[in-house]
Structure 1
Amino acid sequence: GPVGWNPMMGSLRYLSKSTYLLFLLAFEGCGGVKAASPWDFLREQLEAWPYTEDFAIEVGNATGRVFLYEHGNMTMDRKVMTASTSKWPMASMITALVADGTIDSLDDKPSKYLPWWTTDKKDRRSKVTLRMLLSFTSGFGGGAPGNKLIDQGHLGEDGPECMSHLNASYMKCAKEIYEKVKLVGEPGKVFSYNSYHLQLAGAIAVAASKMEIRKVIDKYLFKSFNMTSTDCMSGVENPQLAVCLLTTGNDYGNFLSRILTHSVIPKPLTDQMELDYTPVPVMPDGPTLFGHYSFGHFYECFDSNLGFTTSCKEARVHCDPGAFGYYPLIDRKHNYYMQVVVEEKGKYYNRSGIPEYLRVLVKPYVDIIMEGDDASYGDRSVLGKVTLEDVNYMQACYVNDPSCLYL
């Protein structure tokens, strides 16, 4: 039916909001049905969603979880591959070593901890800082969001072979990245979306903590953020940090909750994590796929032909979508987190681009509810963000039509 129409309410939609609420209260007071949850309308719409078989939607704020919807065979305990959705937790994990003083500063140079990193001012690598590595502005390697090879963690042409060897020495492989991967621009002034930055940042964490990478991950990610059912490539010696996490919705929700509430990383440091590190021209002017980049995640400006807009900046939404459709976000303006928990892989990989539209469609309803209003009264000016092209894309991908790749 039309936006705002609820078949359970019928003509009640046309009452004023205040009259409708009085009606509900009076009806309940006379022994009628219990007043509806503010989330019921959204739940009804999600039940009718036709393009994703198995998914979950969770919303939480400082008090904890406030909404959960599970669809099909997806549960919050099911282990799912995250691909690039690993980047935000891993960048946060390394920042946590700054929070507890193991690493002195985000602006430390790797040479402070890694004896093989140059201090020669004539070598551009000497200008790299931990902050640049965590914001993917170090210059190491190429790659852009949406590039499926990079997004799934496969190597570019310049990638050292050791990154494919999961039982290689993590530190020796990091040194190989440093030696073999070419800088594509001036450190701090160029953005590239790949797995190299976090591997090198992880080497700083290993050297500073004097712990092997598996123990760093266990202490500073799994335990600190209560991700106790999550693993990183089953604890191999040489994991690709940018894509390694096999997690659950519950665990990732725990991570989002702790980032939202600053319970692991203090607010001043979190604020540094959430800056825009890729303003024009670091990220060229023009359309954005997910937005500009912060530490291991996007400062969101979804599919914007106008580039990173003032409205995106003011919305203060941070997100980390992955190749298999997982889409977590934190909304600092409204003070909540939300995640679309999904895993579209294998024969259903073509559908992996669909869940981002669940994010686009669901979040406006969540905003309305979190502001204390009735979602069934949402107006198209707020909710109408999906185009005919988008619908055609979702349909093509759902039925595995080849045009899915080109729409």
Structure 2
Amino acid sequence: MTINRNIAIASASKLPAALTVWRLIEAGRLAATDRPQSVLDFWARDAADARSLVTLDTLLGFTSGFSGGDVDAGCIGSSQISLADCVRQIHDGGLQAPPDTAYDYGPAHLQIAAAMVQACEGRGFETVMREVLLNPLGLTLETRYPLLGGDNTRIAGSLRSTPAEYGRILQALLAGTLVQNRAAYLADRIGDRTITYRPAAAAANDIDWHYGAGFWRVCNKPVYDAQCDANPVISSPGAFGFTPWVDFGNGYWAIIAMEEPIGVGSDPSRSGVTLQIQLQPLIEAELSR
């Protein structure tokens, strides 16, 4: 492994994908309160239909009411169907909870958000991502979605990158050059909402991580509390172990660069998170010397 090796980062894709949408919001090209029906002609418009209450912010925070679990992707990622048609299938499949009442970690939310971006901008999601996020940071085609999925690639989990290039995103986040309203961006999107599904990596090790806009709000305590809000640390671990995080309070970012296969008895994502938890106090101790 080197810092320039191109690897599959799996769910670490969620942070740059959601950050792309957030930058469009801050640029005024979208609004956090925008609803899918404003740009997707097939989306429910009847106020009596709960799907009409979904907003871009609930999609970024995974509280839209759609679920399916992280591994039950359905049409997501299939090159045999377009992004718009896949999102239509997700829509027609219905909600599992009223919008903004439950948190469910899964790929549907960002797939819908990407379809909204595509419809609003008139261009593919990755093209927009490159314009508003990757190119300004000088990232190359080493950071990209695979061509095999067409425009329906798995937005929340199929990005490839290198540790060096992904690190530029974290550095810019830490420096404050990517986000204008940090408080709104870092806000806890779970709060007291029901947690329908959360992967083991974010609930193991006797920890209670919450969620923001495409990233975990790290809280290495059995119960998430106000102290976790006061000292924001965000992370976006992937299924193959790639584990990036930013510690705003202590002023550093880090990446555990890993690409391990998932097998029986093997959970690279959980291993990455465990290592992150072990490294955090060691890094803080060194920074305070």
Structure 1 residue 204 displacement after superposition: 1.0
Deviations for 1:98-144, whole angstroms, at most 9, x for unmatched residues?
122221x111112222222222110001111100000000001243x
- Counterpart of 1:250 in structure 2 is 164
Residue ranges of structure 1 left out of the alignment (5+ in a row) = 1-73, 144-149, 374-407
| Percent of matched pairs sharing the same residue | 27
- Counterpart of 1:404 in structure 2 is none
Q: For the structure 1 residues 223 and 355, does the alpha-carbon distance in structure 2 shift closer, same or farther, using more than 3 Å as the test? A: same
Matched, 1:363 2:277: no
Q: TM-score, normalised by structure 2?
A: 0.88
Q: Distance in 2 between matches of 1:167 and 1:263?
A: 38
Moved more, 188-197 or 206-215: 206-215
Q: Distance in 1 between matches of 2:193 and 2:179?
A: 30
Structure 1 residue 239 displacement after superposition: 0.5
Give matches, 1:224-239, under 5 Å. 224-228=136-140, 229-234=142-147, 236-239=150-153
C-alpha contact (below 8 Å) 2:179/2:185 kept by paired residues: no
Q: Distance in 1 between matches of 2:33 and 2:137?
A: 24
Residue ranges of structure 2 left out of the alignment (5+ in a row) = 197-201
Q: Distance in 2 between matches of 1:264 and 1:281?
A: 28
Matched, 1:203 2:119: no
Matched, 1:184 2:96: yes
C-alpha contact (below 8 Å) 1:110/1:204 kept by paired residues: yes
- Correspondence for 1:92 among 10, 19, 36: 19
Matched residue of 1:354: which SS?
helix
Q: Distance in 1 between matches of 2:287 and 2:103?
A: 34
Give matches, 1:311-326, under 5 Å. 311-326=227-242
Structure 1 residue 347 displacement after superposition: 6.4
Structure 1 residue 370 displacement after superposition: 2.1
Q: Distance in 2 between matches of 1:346 and 1:325?
A: 9
Matched, 1:299 2:212: no
- Counterpart of 1:106 in structure 2 is 32
- Counterpart of 2:225 in structure 1 is 309
- Backbone CA RMSD of aligned residues: 2.2
Moved over 4 A (4+): 346-349
C-alpha contact (below 8 Å) 1:227/1:255 kept by paired residues: no
Matched, 1:328 2:244: yes
Matched residue of 1:119: which SS?
coil
Q: For the structure 1 residues 347 and 112, does the alpha-carbon distance in structure 2 shift closer, same or farther, using more than 3 Å as the test? A: closer
- Counterpart of 2:4 in structure 1 is 77
Structure 1 residue 164 displacement after superposition: 4.4
Matched residue of 2:285: which SS?
helix
Q: For the structure 1 residues 319 and 176, does the alpha-carbon distance in structure 2 shift closer, same or farther, using more than 3 Å as the test? A: same
Q: For the structure 1 residues 311 and 271, does the alpha-carbon distance in structure 2 shift closer, same or farther, using more than 3 Å as the test? A: closer
Q: For the structure 1 residues 77 and 307, does the alpha-carbon distance in structure 2 shift closer, same or farther, using more than 3 Å as the test? A: same
Moved more, 333-342 or 191-200: 333-342
C-alpha contact (below 8 Å) 1:225/1:264 kept by paired residues: no
- Counterpart of 2:199 in structure 1 is none
Matched residue of 1:172: which SS?
helix
C-alpha contact (below 8 Å) 2:240/2:262 kept by paired residues: no
The size of the alignment, in residue pairs, is 278
Query: Rg bigger for which structure?
Result: 1
- In structure 2, give the amino acid aligned to 1:213: F
Q: TM-score, normalised by structure 1?
A: 0.64
